[in-house]
Amino acid sequence: MAASLLLLLDDITSVLDDVATLTKAAVHKTAGVVGDDLALNAKQVSGIAADRELPVVWAVAKGSLLNKLLLVPAALALSAVAQWAITPLLLVGGAYLCYEGAEKIWHAWTHRHGHAAAAGRGLSERERIAGAIRTDFILSAEIIVIALGVASSASFAVRAAVLAAIGLGMTVGVYGLVAAIVKLDDLGLWLAASRRHSGRMAGRAIVAAAPWLMRGLSIAGTLAMFLVGGGIVVHAWPAVHHAIHEALHALPAAGLLGAVTEATAGLTLGGLLLAAVTAVRRIRHA
């Protein structure tokens, strides 16, 4: 009896060790996409009234958790019965990210040039939340698929545990950081009221830097849409991806040039999709 218990504990320890090792590897592989997810979600909250920032982050976080609850079982099922379907689904998601990024640029451009009436009013809180959850779904799908690839050779139980750990950890980490970022200005105001001179100086610096940080995250979030979406599309065509790699690998800063190429591909695809959707809408309206 004691020997059986020891064997069971040894098996559990071995499984947990496998889960920890594969989860660490998956985190390393998905770090870039998680960074894009952070930038995109921080961007979605920019411009919202201060008293609604945390409720919006919480609403998106709950939607993100629901996305994971749908994606993890779906990814495990696809890996078992229809692994070939994963790439086409990722391709559709990448194309949608490119389209959404192009639409955001067009929306900002028309507002900047005084065509707000034609372009429509800004997004409501509900629309922002829905858009953030849709974008999170696509990025989460890519992260889950990457993690699945890392754990593909493991047993089903280990794969399920790795995907669950990645999904939960990503949700808590990303939206915890988003909540901290959007409340930086409140921290700055609190420090600015400090009795200490150093505290007041730090508070004023944070208050001054917070709008620039949010603006930078907004730009990074839009760029991330093209980078992630274009990367998905380029990687879905092995011949194209190989040709780009062969053309750039001998050049200085090949990694940066590769990222620029993928972002350019995403911007081009997004522009084409936006033009097609706009044309269809005008035809239907006419």
pLDDT tens-digit profile of 90-144? 788 778 878 888 888 887 787 664 443 333 345 677 888 888 888 888 778 877 8
Compute how many other C-beta atoms are within 10 angstroms of the C-beta atom of residue 105. Answer: 17
* pLDDT confidence bin for 8, thresholds 50/70/90: very low
Q: Which domain holds residue 214?
A: 2-285
Mean pLDDT: which of 84-88, 130-134, 150-154 is highest? 130-134
**What does the pLDDT read at residue 273?**
92
pLDDT tens digits, residue range 222-236?
A: 787 788 788 878 877
Does this model's pTM top 0.75? My answer is no
Rg of the chain, C-alpha, whole Å: 22
Cβ atoms 146, 30 nearer than 8 A: yes
> Using CA atoms, how far apart are residues 211 and 191, in angstroms rounded to an integer?
17
How many domains does the chain divide into? 1
**What does the pLDDT read at residue 276?**
93
**What does the pLDDT read at residue 11?**
47
CA distances from 172 to 64, 69, 78, 165, 179 (A): 10, 14, 25, 11, 10
Q: Mean pLDDT over residues 23-33, rounded?
A: 56
Cβ atoms 240, 234 nearer than 8 A: yes
Q: Residues 256, 258, 264, 270: is their CA dihedral positive or negative?
A: negative
Q: Mean pLDDT over residues 23-28, rounded?
A: 59
Cβ atoms 192, 207 nearer than 8 A: yes
Pick the closest to residue 95 from 258, 234, 220 (CA basis): 234
Residue 26 reports pLDDT greater than 60: no
Average pLDDT over all residues of the chain: 75
Pick the closest to residue 266 from 234, 218, 221 (CA basis): 234
* pLDDT confidence bin for 268, thresholds 50/70/90: very high
